[in-house]
Amino acid sequence: MSNLREIISTGNDLAAIASVDAGCKFFGGYPITPSSEVMHTISDLLPKAGGAAIQMEDEIAGICAAIGASMSGVRSLTATSGPGISLKAENLGLAQMAEVPLVVVNVMRGGPSTGLPTRVSQGDIAQAKNPSHGDYKSITVCAGNLAECYTETVRAFNLADRFMQPVIVLLDETLGHMHGKAMIPTVEEVQANIKLRKTFDGPAEEYKPYGVAQDEPAVLNPMFKGYRYHFTGLHHDDMGFPTEEIETCRKLIDRLFRKVDEHVDEIESNEEYMLDDADILLIGYGSASLAIKEAIHRLRDEGIKVGLFRPITIWPSPEKRLFELGQKFDKVLSVELNQGQYLEEIQRAMGRKDIQKLTKTNGRPFSPQDIIDKVKEVF
């Protein structure tokens, strides 16, 4: 996207604005710190754009309403924080099985349980990989600055329609409440690049919504538009009706994996910052990457060549690139506002256990000096 406009806003507000610009017509949710502003803002914007926002009685009802709206064919959003994801878990599984597109904004805070509601954390990384029970492949993107609170939300809607499943957008309290200038695409450019879900327009007797190739998502026409099929959370046949037939069940779950695994090139996104001549590799994401970048500049002023790899698509992880970087760099430091949830994925992808880590779980963000001190300590 090349055409940009300047806006002064917060990350939460930018996620709401992005949703409306991307064609979202329904929001169902429930207020929870530190994500409530997403709901507040979109409830003002959606009616003016021909949509509707509803505060439901709880988080469970919020996602149920959003799934129902998506079944009718409109782009749909819910927003929450970690405890809300816990409540939405069962219905996230329903959306995975029935292949209903949905965007879920999760503004991360301290946990587990009620945790630190007003403080920052990146504690939901592992949860985002498998927020519900069963076998499926999650798609999770993670904003690293104010502009990406907008652009990654837009991208999430396109990914949800392309792969017909929920897509999680991770913000965190720091980004959600940060107020500053962002350069974001124009509405015209966003709308010119919208990629809506596929639909079927042939004879009704030939329509089999789940009868698709093994590396492709279901083709679900909007409800009430002349085509009949079935939604269920059970294993189902090509018309969506429950079945326990052995081969049908095997192929269904296999397809839920392959529709993502065989198209990771359409999903993966990352940033490589000052890596070309670096001797030390730092890996971080989300708001932590802002402190990492400042630390990199200060360390380089002292002659210490440090660079950053920042995954923007968290799941599926950029395992191929992580492996390549693991072969290139002997000195690797993972920086996370948790106890090392993504470190486990880095170790797996690189095939190494000697990755250094810097973690923080007291609700406070990293300072650049935290990172500088750790680099000097371990390297």
- Residue 15 vs residues 101, 182, 223, 226, 262: alpha-carbon distances, Å: 17, 12, 27, 34, 29
For the domain that residue 87 is a member of, what is the CATH number?
Answer: 3.40.50.970
Position 175 scores a pLDDT of 98
In a domain, 262, yes or no: no
Whether this prediction's pTM lies above 0.85 is answered by yes
Position 74 scores a pLDDT of 97
Same domain, 15 and 161: yes
Position 26 scores a pLDDT of 98
Same domain, 42 and 145: yes
Burial class (CB in 10 A: 0-12, 13-18, 19+), 253: middle
* Final residue of a structural domain among 139, 168, 192: 192
* Final residue of a structural domain among 164, 192, 220: 192
* Final residue of a structural domain among 163, 192, 221: 192
Same domain, 43 and 158: yes
Burial class (CB in 10 A: 0-12, 13-18, 19+), 113: exposed
pLDDT less than 70: residues of the chain: 1-2
In a domain, 216, yes or no: no
User: CB-side exposure of 122: number of CA atoms within 13 Å?
Assistant: 27
In a domain, 31, yes or no: yes
In a domain, 119, yes or no: yes
Position 37 scores a pLDDT of 98
Supply the DSSP string of 252-281, one letter for each residue.
Answer: HHHHHHHHHHTTGGGT--EEEES-TT-SEE
For the domain that residue 360 is a member of, what is the CATH number?
Answer: 3.40.50.920
Same domain, 277 and 150: no
Please, which residues have CB within 8 angstroms of residue 135's CB and are 6 or more apart in sequence? Answer: 253, 256, 257
Same domain, 187 and 276: no
Position 1 scores a pLDDT of 46
Q: Residue 79: which domain range?
A: 4-192
pLDDT tens-digit profile of 196-219? Answer: 999 999 999 999 999 999 999 999
- Per DSSP, the three-state class of 53 is strand
What is the rounded CA–CA span in Å between residue 154 and residue 150?
6
Supply the DSSP string of 75-103, one letter for each residue.
Answer: EEEEEE-HHHHHHHHHHHHHHHHHT--EE
Same domain, 22 and 148: yes
In a domain, 334, yes or no: yes
In a domain, 264, yes or no: no
Position 3 scores a pLDDT of 79
Laid out side by side, the sheet with 306-311 consists of 270-273, 306-311, 280-283, 331-336, 356-359
The number of folded domains in the chain is 2
Position 185 scores a pLDDT of 97
In a domain, 177, yes or no: yes
Same domain, 177 and 281: no
In a domain, 310, yes or no: yes
